[in-house]
Amino acid sequence: MEIYLDNSATTRAYPEVAELVTKLMLEDYGNPSALHQKGVDAEQYLRRARETMAKILKVQEKEIYFTSGGTESNNWALVGTALAMQRMGKHIITTQIEHPAVQAPVSFLEEMGFTVTRLGVSREGMIDLQELEEAITPETILVSVMFVNNEIGSVEPVAEIGERIKRKNPNTVFHVDAIQAFSKLPIYPKKMNIDLLSVSGHKFHGPKGTGMLYIREKTRIRPVILGGGQQNGMRSGTENVPGAAGMALAAEMVYGKLKESRAHMYRLREHLIHGLQAMENVTVHGADGEQAAPHIVNASFLGVRSEVLLHTLENEGIYVSAGSACSSHKRAGSPTLTAIGASKAEMESSVRFSFSENTTPEEIDTVLEVLNRVIPMLRRFTRK
């Protein structure tokens, strides 16, 4: 028996996606830039993939750029914007709970001379809109906020953020890291005043090594990968046709049943949280209701180290994720848990469960049953 509850790390690809990818590697394998028929065929797939992504986001096809994944999309969005706009200002706003793929490029820009404001969050992981608005100055060229936090699943009020940014400084570019959000909620960049949006394919049953950056028309951004001038010179490198097509197919399938799978996962979430709250000394982190993503539950089992619980569950065929890699030598807590003000004890014992549409209520029952069995045993043995 295998219960895979680490879908925020990565998902199993849809068989249909795997099939399409195989076909594009074995049959229609041409280079989309080639002049012959094989190239034209490949280009068709790419065009259709772009069409699909554009339709889901309700944006123009030319605003979709394929990348090698979420990390590249985030890097490009941040570094590319900073390069293009450095003469207009040197101020960047982001949050304390961003993924490292945002944190690291932001720190890089800070080293290069940009000023950075990192907004704090509430206990539920939500930023303060007032604080954000006050932080925006005429110097602010970029605001980068994640849509759904990857560790605790809080959903930031992106539409309102977009509105406030544009009201205060229409020149400020708004980047949204939607890597955990895309496929879990409807996203409309135009309506939400989003200029740049990062997406990663393997988080929703697409292939690894695939991603996308939405760039709203007329946004000032420079390419950071230079070369043969593919994708209008904005992102060079032979397009990953099987990957892009596979990701688009996965997106299409996922958005085709978004309502049902969202409802399904919210029920699972309720179910699991309900069970966890019945246990002693368990804290569930993050927000409630619509302010929480449907697929993520983060909980601390006080007195049990994350990694130990992870391996114990692994022995039972249950795969989860431990917030931070703990060892006796290095104990840097997760930035998100630190930002929401979790205690040291909570950080050391935090575990993330993340669902997919294929997760069943029975699996959640099993997980709860196992937790109730192993937690008391593990609590008997702790470092004193």
What is the contact surface with another protein in residues (CB under 8 A)?
A: 307-312, 314-315, 325-330, 380-384
Q: Cβ 240 to another protein, closest distance in Å?
A: 30
User: Minimum distance from CB of 208 to another protein (Å)?
Assistant: 21
SS3 state at 117? strand
Q: Closer to another protein at the Cβ: 62 or 331?
A: 331
Closer CB to another protein, residue 232 or residue 327? Answer: 327
215 vs 309, beta carbon nearer another protein: 309
CB of 384 to another protein, least distance (A): 5
Q: How far apart are the first and last CA of the chain?
A: 35
- Min dist CB 330 to another protein, Å, is 5
Are 89 and 114 contacting, i.e. CB atoms less than 8 angstroms apart? no
Q: Crossing angle for the helix pair 15-26 and 241-256, nearest 10 degrees?
A: 160
Non-local (6+) Cβ contacts of 296 within 8 A are: 8, 148, 149, 150, 151, 152, 153, 180, 269, 286, 352, 353, 354, 355
List the one residue out of 176, 230, 261 whose CA is nearest residue 50.
Answer: 230
Residue 384: exposure state from Cβ atoms within 10 A (0-12, 13-18, ≥19): exposed
Annotate 347-379 with b (16+ C-beta within 10 A) or e (fewer). Answer: bbbbbbbbbbbebeeebbebbbebbeebbeebe
Residue number, 82 or 374, with CB nearest to another protein: 374
Burial class (CB in 10 A: 0-12, 13-18, 19+), 270: middle
Let me know if 326 is a catalytic residue.
yes
Shortest approach of another protein to residue 112 CB, angstroms? 30
Q: Minimal distance in Å, beta carbon 310 to another protein?
A: 8
Of 273, 320, 326, 339, which residue is the catalytic one? 326
The nearer residue to another protein, 202 or 305, going by C-beta atoms, is 305
Question: Are the beta carbons of 66 and 72 closer than 8 angstroms?
Answer: no
Question: What is the token pair recorded at 352?
Answer: 């993330």
β-strand pairing of 64-67 with 173-177: unpaired
Asked whether the beta carbons of 187 and 218 are under 8 A apart, the reply is: no
Nearer to another protein, 25 or 325 (CB): 325
What amino acid positions are annotated as catalytic residues?
326
